[in-house]
Amino acid sequence: MRIGTKLALATMTGMLSLAGSAWGAEITVLANQGALSGIRDLAAGFEQKTGNKVVVSFEAGNALNEKINSNAPADVVTQVLDQFDDLVQRGKVVPGTFVEFARAGNGVAVKEGSLKRDISTPEAFKQAMLNSRTIGHTNAGTGPFNTKLFQKLGIYEFVKDKVKIVVGRPVAAAVAAGDIEIGIQQTNVIQPFPGTIYLGPLPPALMEYGRFGAGLLTVSKEPEVAKAFIKFMAAPENAALVRKSAMEPAS
């Protein structure tokens, strides 16, 4: 091989190496619906700060568990916090890597053009539930909080027959379609949604929070970058990115 050709190849190799460094690493995050909006904002912030790429893979329903159980290629998983002990025990998440990064409570929405109900106080929320023909929520995430909430308010027996469990779509979609009169779902999931009006979060005295964590998957091919992203997610200085999508930083 001629010297000139060798130099050209060496130069090209060096350029490709530099380009690879400039592009940074790429990690994939398996995100559940409850954490999706917060993850997207945090991912964008991490990309801007580090030059690494974060692919956010939204997995609805049982699809998230299927990917975890099948060891699908990914680096980070987000879940409700109490799921991580099991994930560690089953060898899916690396011990000591999961952290709580956000929390979210429930909010309320009605169809655009319908009566706006006052939910600003516990008594007002109670009356809004009693005066609604149908109430929609899910049985996933923060959905089960509502049964305990109705019991706490002493109205469960009065509203149980008009509660409709929403499956396979956001609660706000059922509200917009007119299938339910008033909907309750996690604040960052129920809004914004076309055709609905977001009335706001539950009164503070009634609020219960779902807690969300992120952990390093044992199948990760970029564990150092993935751990850096997890640390970034929980860092107090990045709280504004969590709040941007109607979630709250971990308490």
Confidence of residue 23 (pLDDT cuts 50, 70, 90): low
Amino acid at 118: D
Of the candidates 25, 29, 27, the residue with the CA atom closest to the CA atom of residue 213: 29
pLDDT digits 0-9 by tens, 73-122: 999 999 999 999 999 999 999 999 999 999 999 999 999 999 889 999 99
Q: What angle do CA 151, 80, 27 make, to 5 degrees?
A: 160
pLDDT of residue 66: 95
**Closest to 227 (Cα-Cα) out of 238, 219, 216, 212:** 216
Q: What is the pTM of this model?
A: 0.84
Render pLDDT for 198-218 as a digit per residue (tens, 0 to 9).
Answer: 999 999 999 999 999 999 999
User: Looking at residues 119-146, what average pLDDT do you find?
Assistant: 95
- Relative to beta strand 182-186, strand 135-137 is parallel
pLDDT for 61 equals 72
pLDDT digits (tens, 9 = 90+) for 138-188: 998 888 999 999 999 999 999 999 999 999 899 999 999 999 999 999 999
Confidence of residue 17 (pLDDT cuts 50, 70, 90): very low
Question: What is the model's pLDDT at position 208?
Answer: 93
pLDDT for position 141: 83
